[in-house]
Structure 1
Amino acid sequence: MLLTMLRPIAVLRAAARGFRHWRWTRPFWGGLVLVLAGAEVLAVPTARSLVLPPDLLVVAGLAGSSHYLIGALLVVNGLMSWAQPAHHSFHGIVGVLLALAAFAASNFGGFVLGTLVGVTGGSLVFAWSPHRPRRGAAALRRRPRRRGRSSRRARARRWDTVRGGSPAGR
Structure 2
Amino acid sequence: MREYLLIRSKRKTVALAIKEDGALEVRAPMRLSKKWIDGFVKQKEGWIQQKTAETAKRAAARRQLTPQEEENLCLRAQEYLPQRTWELAEQTGLTPAGVKVTGAKTRWGSCSGKNKICLSWRLMERPREVIDYVIIHELCHTEHHDHSKGFWALVESFLPNYRALRRELKGW
Q: Shared fold by TM > 0.5? A: no
Taking structure 1 as the reference length, the TM-score comes to 0.23
> Which one has the largest radius of gyration?
1
More helix as a share of residues: 1
Taking structure 2 as the reference length, the TM-score comes to 0.23
More strand as a share of residues: 2
